[in-house]
């Protein structure tokens, strides 16, 4: 018997428990349910709801299972008459002030209080006094409040303090007048704030855009994967009559634990935006008209063939959103090959391609997401981490709170809600990085943050240099990467990338790159990257799920080239007024909610999902549109039956690929000539077409680069 | 959170800052939240006996705490006022010992004399008749009241009059 274990008895069954464990942790492990409201395994113990009272032998009164540590020989009874009496009495207290408005409460049917009241509540109340009423607060466009329903479990306040890292909700007042509230007039703005909805055991905090839209039991729950960042966050879509009404987290401890970011939760309200295309559309003499798929596709095929024969396939360029599925990438890549062009790319915001041949097969995180929280030291280069990858930022925050030394090298100061070891905010990222390399290399004397950063990387057993979006979009990306790789070598740290785009990894694997074929194989005829395509006024552009004027590094150039092209085919879900000006054909496709497909996250993890919601109007999944295009263009091997077949074909071709971030380039010694250039910092809720159309997200106090909230620490 | 935050350039007076520093020094590094009660009391004293949005935000900034944590403390403790109140804060103890010794008479008299109900301030802003929820721990001198932190015990109606008349 190890000293770390104690023998206890639960409901008459002897069991072992680790010393220091709380009773409720042991009963949860044993799958013995003890009712609770305030206890949550991801949060600290508050012990204020008193619902988990259990009987402990020789204890003079019932004890709270969530805050009573086990002791050797302890005998716990969770369902004895005495324990149940205590639980029922607590329930009676909790219901004194709780309104009986379940029929109009969005939480109805998925409510912990409702469920437990069934088991522990009385069918009639002994109280005839008036119930208290609490005024609702406006805490922003994402979370609705019905504070009269609150039972003061404080899960939400603990979440904002412990998980989000900055307490935005608090308990105001005392006794019967106690309320959960933000500070006077403040909204809840943290990028993970929506999780308080799932934590709230009653209907006090709910999903605001979802309010009164459906009852929980009417909806179908469908697994989804978020395409909005490279985390591959697991989601459940809740669908009613084919329409996606809300998104909630799908637990996956290896990726997103039980949380999701607000972007993942609320982006779905952009899906059914007003400019959603329901029917294929073609433009003739500046006039748009809806048409049949046959007509639209015939026009695309004729147009592409004409340009291909008259001007050469090299006059066709293809731009794909980095949020497209693996299957869409694969088919687009095959389509380009079939047409004979290698002008194909998904790296829409990247600007420096000079060292692209030294790229890894795909930009790999360099570790598993779950391991981020076990880092000892990390230097994050060029990343507005909380905006780019909120769930990874949460992991890194966990590491920092646990004592890891996290440092940043960024173009500006961003607000991090954890202790930061060193923060270099500079216009000259390559220069500062070179300075860090010099310190590491020559043991050069250095002061302040440079010294601290290098020391932390040298000291930490698990050290990492993470390259973020702002590094990858930087005009001197090649130099930054080479220097980062060198620094990683010198400090024995690993090198990691935060892929720029929800499925950028799949884009690289499928060969949606001008310089590589699928699996990172070098191509015989190198094509043009995104800026080159847009700068060279090509005759035809094929756009897959992107709006180049907003999604590309240089929107103005994009607009000019697109307007001048003979043929612009937009395969997408939306037709903005701008897009209608430059496009000639719009082929409507399903959004991420409506299409089956595979997402490969930053770890290289493949996750396939079926479409959750019904397609809108005549729109079709993009992989089907591309398949038919391939057929109509007379290309070989475009006879797929389902998207799985497309995935399997590519998976087979890739066979065993091991991710490897080792850098073999030689750009570290290059003088950082254009080091002072700026990388595009896209505000969190403007990252892709769907997010941009989500009304609730657009109404938030966005932490845009221009917002002073960022700089003020 | 950040080393740069050490230089404070907010609206708190130098005396306030010194006072908060004095409180913060009593607690371990990083536990500045514990200094909140002392800091808020100091702030309240400098602001005619009540706290406002500006002050709470300033104290939060100074101590580098989320402002909602300041708000929590300010609304929890009965010695903090978050709305403007009269200059002199009068608390009559109405707990058991004082009640048995006739505090009701004292309260009634005060309400009549000042023309306000418990929990209100006089129109001229001179007096605030505070709702005292707890025993003030002076049972041996019941009935008693506290004005501006000073205890007055074994009260009679006449004594209350003379005490009030003696205030500025």
Domain ranges of chain B: 14-76, 88-165
| Pick from A317, A354, A336, A315: nearest CA to A511 | A336
Tell me the pairing of strands A287-290 and A281-284: antiparallel
pLDDT of A631: 96
Percentage above 70 pLDDT, chain A = 97
Q: Residue B50 to residues A147, A179, B75, B79, B128: CA-CA distances in angstroms?
A: 27, 21, 11, 9, 11
Residue B1 is predicted with a pLDDT of: 36
| Nearest chain A residue to B6, by CA | A713
Model pLDDT, residue B6: 43
What is the least distance, in Å, from the CA of A169 to any CA of chain B?
7
Residue among B2, B5, B68 whose CB faces A169 most closely: B68
Question: Which residues in chain A touch residue B53, judged by CB atoms under 8 angstroms apart?
Answer: 184
B71 and A174 within 8 Å at the Cβ level: the answer is no
Q: Do B1 and A417 touch (CB under 8 A)?
A: yes
Answer whether A334's CB lies under 8 Å from A630's CB.
yes
The model's pLDDT over A202-219, given as tens digits with 9 standing for 90+, comes to 999 999 999 999 999 999
Nearest neighbour of B67 by CB, restricted to A161, A183, A416: A183
C-alpha distances in Å from residue A472, one per residue of A329, A480, A481, A497, A679 = 21, 8, 8, 9, 8
Please give the share of chain A, as a percent, with pLDDT higher than 90. 89
Residues of chain B found within 8 Å of residue A405, distances taken between Cβ atoms: none
Residues of B in contact with A401 (CB under 8 A): none
pLDDT band at B134 (very low <50, low <70, confident <90, very high): confident
Q: What is the pLDDT of residues A9-46, one digit of tens each?
A: 999 999 999 999 999 999 999 999 999 999 999 999 99
Angstrom distance (rounded) from CA A383 to CA A414:
9
Q: What is the rounded CA–CA span in Å between residue B150 and residue B153?
A: 10
Instruction: Tell me the pLDDT of chain A averaged across its residues.
Output: 93
Question: Residue written as tokens 């609206």?
Answer: B11
- Asked if residue A712 has pLDDT above 70, the reply is no
Checking if the pLDDT of A193 tops 90, the result is yes
In three-state form (DSSP H/G/I as H, E/B as E, the rest C), the secondary structure along A228-281 is CCCCCCEEEEEEECCEEEEEEECCECCCCECCCCHHHHHHHHHCCCCCECCCCE
Contact status of A189 with chain B (Cβ, < 8 Å): no
Rounded (to 5) percent helix, strand, coil in chain B: 50, 10, 45
Cα angle: A663, vertex A532, A310; to 5 degrees: 130
Chain B CB contacts of A173 below 8 Å: 75-76
Mean pLDDT across A458-486: 94
Using CB atoms, pick whichever of B1, B53, B69 lies closest to residue A170: B69
Q: CB–CB of B72 and A171 under 8 A?
A: yes
Q: Is A173 on the interface with B (CB under 8 A)?
A: yes
A419 touches chain B (CB under 8 A): yes
Count A/B contacts: CB-CB distance under 8 Å.
Answer: 47
Q: Do A166 and B53 touch (CB under 8 A)?
A: no
Closest residue of A to B72, CA-based? A172
Dihedral-angle region of residue A185 (phi above 0 means left; psi in -120 to 50 means alpha; beta otherwise): left
**Tens of pLDDT, residues A331-372:** 999 999 999 999 999 999 999 999 999 999 999 999 999 999
Please report residues of A whose CB lies closer than 8 A to that of B4: 713
Binary contact (A183, B75; C-beta < 8 A): no
Using an 8 Å CB-CB cutoff, list chain A residues near B76: 171-174
Contact A184 B72 (CB under 8 A): no
Query: With an 8 Å Cβ cutoff, are B67 and A186 in contact?
Result: yes
Taking CA A555 as the corner, what is the angle to CA A550 and CA A556, rounded to the nearest 5 degrees? Answer: 140
Q: Are A222 and A160 within 8 A, CB to CB?
A: no
Over 70: is that where the pLDDT of A541 sits?
yes
**pTM: predicted TM-score of the whole model, two decimal places:** 0.92
- Interval A613-637 mean pLDDT: 96
- In chain A, whose CA is at the least distance from the CA of B1? A419
pLDDT at A3: 67
B56: chain A residues, CB-CB within 8 Å: 183
How large is the average pLDDT for residues B99-105? 95
Residue A706 pLDDT more than 50? no
- Average of per-residue pLDDT across A393-398: 97
Closest CA to A325 of A114, A70, A121, A590: A590
3-state secondary structure of A412: coil
What would the mean pLDDT of A573-590 be, rounded to a whole number? Answer: 96
* B72 → closest Cβ in A166, A172, A423: A172
Q: What pLDDT was estimated at residue A705?
A: 44
For A167, which of B5, B69, B75 is closest by C-beta distance? B69
Token pair listed for A661: 């971030």
- Report the residue of B32, B65, B68 to disrupt the A interface, i.e. the one with the largest count of A CBs within 10 Å: B68
Inter-chain residue contact A170 with B4, CB threshold 8 Å = no
Residue among B4, B66, B75 minimizing CB distance to A172: B75
pLDDT at B121 > cutoff 80? yes
Check CB contact of A171 with chain B, cutoff 8 Å: yes
Residues comprising chain B, all counted: 168
Reported as a pLDDT band with limits 50, 70 and 90, residue B8 is low
In this predicted structure, what is the pLDDT of residue A2?
A: 53
Structure confidence at residue A704 (pLDDT): 46
> Nearest CA to CA, how far is B58 from chain A (Å)?
13
Among A161, A174, A183, select the one facing B71 at the smallest CB separation: A183
Residue appearing with tokens 């996956």: A252
| Chain A 224-243, residues with CB within 8 Å of chain B CB atoms | none
CB contact A421 to B (< 8 Å): no
> What does each C-alpha distance from A11 to A56, A57, A70, A72, A698 come to in angstroms?
10, 11, 14, 15, 52
The arithmetic mean of pLDDT across residues B101-110, rounded, is 95
Cβ contacts (< 8 Å) between A713 and chain B: which residues?
A: 1-2, 4-5
Confidence class for position B5, pLDDT limits 50, 70, 90? very low
Mean pLDDT in residue range A271-290: 95
| A403 at interface of B, judged by CB pairs closer than 8 A | no
* Closest CB from B1, B66, B76 relative to A167: B66
CB atoms B76 and A174 under 8 Å = yes
The listed CATH number (1.20.1250.20, 2.60.40.10, 3.40.30.10, 3.30.70.2170) that belongs to domain B88-165: 3.40.30.10
């Amino acid at each position: 018997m190890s000293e770390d274990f104690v023998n206890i008895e639960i409901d008459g069954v002897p069991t072992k428990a680790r010393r220091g464990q709380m009773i409720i942790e042991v009963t949860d492990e044993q799958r013995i349910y003890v009712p609770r409201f305030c206890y949550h395994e991801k949060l600290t113990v508050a012990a204020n709801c008193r619902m988990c009272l259990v009987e402990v032998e020789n204890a003079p009164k019932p004890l709270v299972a969530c805050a009573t540590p086990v002791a050797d020989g302890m005998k716990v009874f969770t369902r004895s008459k005495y324990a149940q009496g205590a639980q029922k009495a607590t329930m009676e207290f909790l219901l004194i002030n709780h309104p009986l408005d379940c029929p109009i409460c969005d939480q109805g049917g998925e409510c912990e209080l409702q469920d437990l009241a069934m088991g522990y509540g009385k069918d009639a109340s002994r109280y005839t006094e008036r119930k208290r009423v609490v005024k609702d607060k406006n805490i922003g466009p994402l979370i609705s409040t019905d504070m009269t329903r609150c039972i003061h479990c404080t899960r939400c306040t603990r979440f904002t303090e412990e998980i989000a890292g900055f307490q935005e909700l608090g308990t105001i007042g005392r006794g019967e007048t106690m309320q959960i509230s933000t500070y006077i007039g403040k909204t809840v703005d943290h990028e993970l704030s929506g999780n308080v909805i799932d934590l709230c055991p009653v209907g006090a905090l709910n999903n605001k855009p979802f309010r009164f839209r459906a009852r929980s039991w009417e909806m179908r729950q469908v697994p989804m994967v978020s395409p909005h960042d490279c985390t591959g966050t697991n989601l459940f879509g809740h669908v009613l009559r084919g329409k996606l009404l809300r998104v909630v987290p799908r637990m996956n401890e290896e990726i997103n634990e039980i949380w999701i970011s607000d972007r993942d939760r609320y982006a779905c309200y952009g899906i059914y935006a007003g400019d959603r295309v329901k029917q294929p559309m073609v433009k003739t003499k500046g006039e748009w008209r809806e048409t049949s798929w046959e007509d639209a596709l015939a026009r695309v095929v004729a147009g592409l063939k004409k340009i291909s024969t008259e001007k050469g396939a090299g006059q066709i360029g293809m731009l794909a959103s980095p949020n497209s599925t693996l299957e869409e990438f694969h088919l687009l890549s095959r389509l380009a090959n079939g047409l004979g062009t290698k002008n194909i790319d998904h790296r829409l915001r990247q600007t420096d391609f000079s060292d692209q041949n030294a790229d890894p097969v795909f930009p790999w995180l360099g570790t598993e997401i779950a391991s981020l929280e076990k880092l000892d030291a990390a230097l994050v280069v060029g990343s507005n981490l909380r905006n780019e990858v909120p769930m990874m930022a949460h992991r890194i925050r966990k590491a920092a709170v646990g004592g890891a030394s996290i440092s940043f090298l960024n173009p500006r100061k961003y607000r991090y809600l954890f202790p930061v070891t060193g923060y270099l905010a500079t216009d000259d990222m390559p220069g500062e990085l070179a300075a860090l390399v010099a310190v590491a290399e020559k043991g050069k004397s250095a002061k302040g943050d440079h010294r601290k950063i290098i020391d932390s990387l040298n000291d930490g057993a698990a050290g990492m240099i993470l390259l973020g979006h702002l590094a990858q979009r930087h005009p001197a990306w090649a130099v930054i990467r080479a220097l980062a790789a060198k620094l990683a070598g010198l400090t024995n740290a690993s090198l990691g990338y935060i892929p720029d785009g929800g499925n950028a990894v799949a884009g690289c694997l499928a060969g949606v790159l001008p310089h590589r074929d699928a699996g990172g194989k070098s191509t015989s005829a190198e094509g043009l990257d995104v800026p080159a395509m847009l700068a060279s006024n090509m005759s035809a552009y094929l756009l897959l799920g992107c709006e180049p004027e907003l999604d590309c590094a240089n929107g103005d150039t994009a607009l000019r080239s697109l307007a001048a092209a003979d043929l612009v085919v937009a395969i997408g879900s939306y037709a903005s007024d701008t897009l209608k000006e430059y496009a000639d054909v719009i082929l409507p496709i399903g959004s991420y909610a409506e299409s089956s497909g595979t997402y490969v996250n930053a770890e290289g993890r493949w996750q396939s999902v079926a479409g959750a919601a019904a397609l809108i109007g005549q729109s079709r999944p993009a992989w089907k549109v591309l398949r038919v295009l391939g057929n109509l263009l007379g290309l070989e091997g475009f006879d797929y039956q389902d998207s799985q077949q497309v995935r399997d074909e590519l998976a087979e071709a890739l066979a065993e690929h091991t991710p490897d971030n080792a850098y073999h380039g030689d750009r570290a010694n290059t003088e950082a000539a254009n080091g002072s250039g700026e990388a595009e910092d896209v505000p969190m809720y403007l990252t892709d077409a769907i997010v941009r159309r989500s009304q609730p997200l657009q109404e938030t106090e966005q932490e845009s680069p221009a917002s002073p909230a960022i700089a003020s620490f | 959170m950040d080393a740069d935050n050490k230089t404070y350039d907010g609206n708190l007076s130098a005396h306030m800052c010194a006072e908060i520093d004095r409180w913060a020094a009593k607690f371990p590094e990083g536990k500045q939240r514990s200094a909140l009660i002392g800091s808020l009391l100091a702030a309240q004293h400098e602001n005619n006996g009540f706290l406002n949005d500006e002050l709470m935000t300033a104290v939060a900034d100074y101590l580098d705490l989320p402002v909602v944590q300041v708000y929590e403390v300010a609304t929890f403790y009965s010695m903090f006022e978050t709305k403007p109140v009269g200059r002199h804060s009068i608390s009559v103890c109405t707990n058991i010992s004082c009640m048995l010794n006739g505090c009701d008479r004292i309260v009634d008299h005060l309400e009549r004399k000042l023309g306000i109900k418990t929990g209100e301030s006089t129109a001229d802003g001179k007096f605030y008749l505070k709702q005292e929820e707890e025993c003030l721990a002076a049972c041996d001198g019941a009935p008693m009241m506290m004005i501006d932190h000073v205890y007055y015990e074994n009260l009679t109606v006449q004594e209350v009059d003379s005490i009030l008349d003696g205030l500025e």
